[in-house]
Structure 1
Amino acid sequence: MSTCYKICMVSDFFYPNMGGVESHLFLLSQRLIQRGHKVIIITHAYGNRKGVRYLTNGLKVYYVPAMVVYSEATLPTVYGFFPLLRNILIRESIDIVHGHQAFSSLCHEAILHSKTMGLKACFTDHSLFGFADASSILTNKLLKFTLSDVDHIICVSHTSKENTVLRAALSPRNVSVIPNAVVASQFLPDPSASDPSWTTIVVISRLVYRKGVDLLVAVIPRICAMHKNVRFIIGGDGPKRIDLEQMREKHLLQDRVELLGPIKHSEVRSILIQGNIFLNTSLTEAFCIAIVEAACAGLYVVSTKVGGVPEVLPSHMINYAMPEEDDLIMAISNALHLIRYGKVDPSKFNGELKDMYSWSNVAERTEKATSPLIERLRRYYGCGLYAGKIFCMVMTLDYLFWLFLEMVFPRWSIEPAPTFPSKRYQLQTDSDCLDQIR
C-alpha cells in the first residue's frame, strides 16, 4: 500500500451510542490508521459530548450540533450541514468521504456535498429494508438519490448486497461485499465463569420490535417450563423491555430471568462467558455481529434464519430456526441437548473465527473499494419521472451554494488542521483500542 488517503467517516451513529455500526466505524478507522491513512469521524453531539474529541491512535471525532429526531437519527437539513461540513473537509484536507447507514441524514448529506466539492465518496449499508411500507419506499428513494452519484458501495453480506441493489436500482458491479469483523482476543472463552448447576442462555440485543423481542417474550416461559435447569441472562435496553419485565412477573421467573439493562461494549465478554448458549431472535439482520462475538466467547448459537445471518457462522456453531415460536422452541431444545451431552465444543470456536473475521482484512478491502456537473445531472435525472427532476434541482442548488461558499469563505481563509502523529503513539493491538474507548 503506497498511497495514503485522508478519509472522513460520517454517520449519525457513533460512540457513546452502542451498536454494530458504532463498533464498525471505530474498529475500521483504527485499522485504516494503522495502515497509514488519516481518518476522522463526523457524527452528531451526544449530550455533553460535543465539539472535537480524540480517541485511540489520534482518531479525531467531530461531534457537530444537530437535532436528533428519532433513535439517534438527525433531522435532514439538505443544505444546513454544508457550510460546517465544507469547513471540516477543507481543514482536514479530506480525499474520501465514507458514509455509513441508510438511516443517517448526516451520511446522505455528506455524500451529496462531498461530490459537489469534487471529492470521492463511498457508502456502507448495514441494514435490510422492505419495499412495501411507506417508510421503506421513502428511504429507498432517498437511497437511490444518494447512491446515483457515489463512487462505490459496500454491503456487509451478500443478502444485504442483493437488498441494496434492488432498493436503489444499482449495478451489482458497483457493490462489494465486505463483512463485519470481530476482535477475537477480546472474547476469549472462560469455561470456569459459567454456573455448572444451570444451563445459561444469553441474549444481548436492543430491545426493539425488529430484534424479535415479542418472540423472546413468548419463548422464555415455555423453555423454562420444559427445562428446569435453564436460566436466561438478557442484556440491553429499549421500548420492549417492559414486555420482558411483565412476562417475568406474570410467570414468576425472577430467579431464572435476569434483566441487566443497558451494557457497555467492554462488559459484553464478562456477560457472554457466563452462558452456554447465545440466542438471537431478530426478525431482520444484514449481518449480526453479536452472534460472531458470542461464538468467539465459546457459546453455541441459536438464531432465527433471517437476512444475512446464514452467511455468518459455520454450520457446526449455530442452530437455525424460522422466526416462529414453535420452531424456535425446537431449535433451543436441540441446542440444549447438544450442550448437555457434549456433542459440540464451543471452546474451540474462538480459534476458528480469529482468522475468518479480521479487521485488518476488512480495512484492506475497504481501502481498495474506495464527476462533471452534466454527468451528475444525467445520473440524478434517471432516478424517476418526478423524483429525478426534484433531485436535479436539489443538486443544482447544492452546486450554486458551494460556489457561494467558495466566494464568501475562500479556502485560503480556513486554517489547515495539524496531522496527529499516529505512529508515535500507536497502540499495537485491537485489545488496547477497545480498552481506550472510554
Structure 2
Amino acid sequence: MLFLKIGFFTDTYFPQVSGVATSIKTLKDQLEEHGHQVYIFTTTDPNAPRFDEGIIRMPSVPFVSFTDRRVVVRGMWYAYLIAKELELDLIHTHTEFGAGILGKMVGKKMKIPVVHTYHTMYEDYLHYIANGKVIRPAHVKYFSRLFVNHSSGVICPSERVIKTLKEYGVSIPMRIIPTGIEIDKFERPDITPEMSQKTRRSLGIDENQVMLLSLSRLSYEKNIQAIIYGLPAILKMKPNVKLVIVGDGPYREDLEVLVKQKQVEKFVTFVGEVPNNEVAIYYHAADYFVSTSTSETQGLTYTEAMAAGTQLIVEGNDYLNNLINYDCLGTTFETDEDFANAVINYVDQKIAMDPAILAKKLYEISAEKFGAKIIEFYEDLIALNQLEREEKQEEVILKKMKMKLPSLKRSSID
C-alpha cells in the first residue's frame, strides 16, 4: 500500500461552518488513519488560529454575495514552494475558484495527479449574484467543463452530479463516492430517552405531539419555504404536529414572515444555529427529519439524521431514492406539492425502525467506507498518471529515433 502526501486545496474550511468543510475534515481524518499525510491549503480567516499544524492559509477576501465565505486571491508561488518542499504525491481540489485554480497550477508544475470533488451545483445558487442576471447556466456549464476536464479525475458525491457533468461535456474519469459521516457522532447511545424528552419539553413539545425537524442553513435554495407552505394542510389532519427549524442564515427573516402569513406561529419554533456537539440531540429528539431541498449534491444532514435513527420524509432524487430503500428508513416524494400528503401518510403508517436494516445502512454511509473508496480512486489515478507519463516518454524516444534515422541512412551510404 502506498503512503501518500496529499494536498487539499479549498476556499472553505473551519472555522467556516459548511457541509464542504465537514466533508473535507472527515476525509482528512480517514486518510490520516490509513497512514497518509494531509496538508490543507486554504483561505485566511479572521476567526482562525494564528497557527494550525498542517494548514497553510493563503491571502483571501470575502466572496461576492457570500460575505461569510472567502476566496483565495493570490499565493501561487508560495503554495508551489511549500508543496514542493512537502514533496506532495497528489493534489485534491475542493473548489473551482481561487484555491482550486492554484491547486491545478501547482499540480501541473509538479507533474502530479490533481483529483477534484464537485461539491456544489452552482446553477442552484445563481440568484445570489445580481439575481441571476450576470452569470447564466450556460456560463456555469462552460466554466465547470473547462475546470474539471483539466483534472486527472473527479469525485461526484451523487448520481445527480455525474449526470450533470456528463451533460456539461466532462470526459475525464469520474466516480460516484458519497461523503461518509462519523457515525458515532450521531448514533450517540449516551443521549437517553429522558434527555430527548427534556429537549422536546424545552421546545414546548410533549410526548403525544409529533416533532418534525428541519436542520440546515436557512437560505433560499434549501427550500424550507415549501415545508411551511405545506404545514397548514398537515395540521388539518395532524393538529398535534410541531415543526422545529434548526439553523441560521440570510433567509431566516423571510421564513419567519411566511410563518406569520400562514398563521402557524404556534406550530413552528426557530432554534437558530446550535453547536456541532448538540446537533445530534435534536436528531434524537425528533420523530421525523423533513426536507424539501432540491439543491443538494448529497446533503449530509440526511445521513446524520439516519445515523441517529430518525426516519426521513424528504423530497427525492436519484441519491435519496437509493439511500432510503426500505420503508423503515423513511420515504421520499417527488414535488413540493406532495410534501403534506407524504408526511400525513408516512406518520399514519407508524412503521418501526428495523435495527438490522439500519445497521447495514450505517456502514454504507460511514466515514470508513468513504475513506476507503477515496483511497482506491487515488491509487487508480496515480497508476494511470504513471502509465501516461511512461507513454509520453516512449513517444519522445521514438520521435528522437525517427529524427536520427535519416542521418544514420546517409552515414551508411557514405
Given the two structures, how large is their TM-score scaled by the length of structure 2? 0.79
Aligned-residue CA RMSD in angstroms? 2.6
Match of 1:321 among 333, 337, 344: 333
CA–CA distance in 1 between the matches of 2:136 and 2:167?
16
**What is the 5 A alignment of 1:124-139?**
124-130=117-123, 134-139=135-140
Match of 2:155 in 1: 154
Paired AA for residue 22 in structure 2: S
Taking structure 1 as reference, are residues 221 and 233 closer, same or farther at Cα in structure 2, changes over 3 Å only? same
Q: Once the 2 structures are TM-superposed, how far is the Cα of residue 74 of structure 1 from its aligned partner?
A: 4.0
Q: Which amino acid aligns with 2:101?
A: H
1:58-95 per-position Cα deviation (integer Å, ceiling 9, x unaligned): xx222322012232554574xx3312211321232222
- Equivalent AA in structure 2 for residue 364 of structure 1: A
User: Which residue identity lines up with residue 212 of structure 1 in the other structure?
Assistant: N
Alignment of 1:34-433 (within 5 A): 34-49=33-48, 51-54=50-53, 60-70=54-64, 71=66, 72-75=68-71, 77=73, 80-102=74-96, 104-130=97-123, 134-171=135-172, 174-188=173-187, 190-192=192-194, 193-194=196-197, 195-306=206-317, 308-316=319-327, 317-325=329-337, 327-339=338-350, 343-345=351-353, 350-370=358-378
| Structure 2: tracts of 5 or more residues without a match | 127-131, 198-205, 379-384, 390-414
Does residue 19 of the first structure (1) align with residue 31 of the second (2)?
Answer: no
- Aligned-partner residue type, residue 81 of structure 2: N
In 2 relative to 1, CA 251–157 (structure 1 residues): closer, same or farther, beyond 3 Å? closer
Q: Which has the larger radius of gyration?
A: 2
User: Could you say what secondary structure the match of 2:217 adopts?
Assistant: coil
Distance in 1 (CA, whole Å) between partners of 2:363 and 2:326 is 17
Work out which structure has the larger RCO, using CA pairs closer than 8 Å and 6 or more positions apart in sequence. Answer: 1
The answer to whether the 8 Å contact 1:31/1:363 transfers is yes
Structure 2 Cα separation of the partners of residues 216 and 240 of structure 1? 14
Cα deviation for residue 5 of structure 1 reads: 0.7
Partner SS, residue 182 of structure 1: coil
Seen in structure 2, the aligned counterparts of structure 1 residues 225 and 99 have a Cα distance that, compared at 3 Å, is same
1:414 alignment counterpart: none
User: What percent identity do the matched residue pairs reach?
Assistant: 19
Specify which structure has the higher proportion of helix.
2
User: Structure 1 residues 273, 262: CA separation in 2 closer, same or farther (over 3 Å shift)?
Assistant: same
> What is the distance in 1 between the residues matched to 2:275 and 2:357?
23
Compared CA separation, residues 167 and 198, structure 1 to 2 (3 A): same
* Letter in structure 2 aligned against 1:92: L
Q: CA deviation at 1:136?
A: 3.1
Unaligned runs of 5+ in 1: 55-59, 376-438
Q: Which moved more, 1:297-306 or 1:111-120?
A: 111-120
User: What is the alpha-carbon distance in structure 2 between the residues aligned to residue 237 and residue 369 of structure 1?
Assistant: 36
Alpha-carbon displacement from aligned partner over 1:360-383 (angstroms, at most 9, x marks no partner): 2222221222289xx9xxxxxxxx
Q: Which amino acid aligns with 1:320?
A: T
SS in 1 for 2:285: coil
Q: How big is the shift at 1:215?
A: 0.8
User: In the comparison of the two structures, how many residue pairs are matched?
Assistant: 358
Q: C-alpha distance in 2, partners of 1:117/1:361?
A: 30
Q: Letter of the 1:19 partner, please give it.
A: S
Report the equivalent of 1:29: 28
> CA separation in 2, counterparts of 1:106 and 1:303?
34
132-141 or 23-32, which deviates more: 132-141
Answer yes or no: is 1:7 the counterpart of 2:15. Answer: no
Residues 165 and 105 (structure 1 numbering): CA distance in 2 closer, same or farther, change over 3 Å? farther
Asked whether the equivalents of residues 285 and 308 of structure 1 are also in contact (C-alpha less than 8 Å), the reply is: no
Check the 8 A contact 2:42/2:99 in 1, yes or no. Answer: yes
Instruction: Return the alpha-carbon distance in structure 2 between the equivalents of residues 274 and 101 of structure 1.
Output: 35
Per-residue deviation, 1:293: 1.0
Shift in Å at residue 198 of structure 1?
1.3
CA distance in 2, matches of 1:182, 1:285: 16
Change (3 A) 1:217 1:262: same
8 Å Cα contact 1:236/1:260 also seen in 2: yes
- Retained in 2: the 8 A contact 1:7–1:38? yes
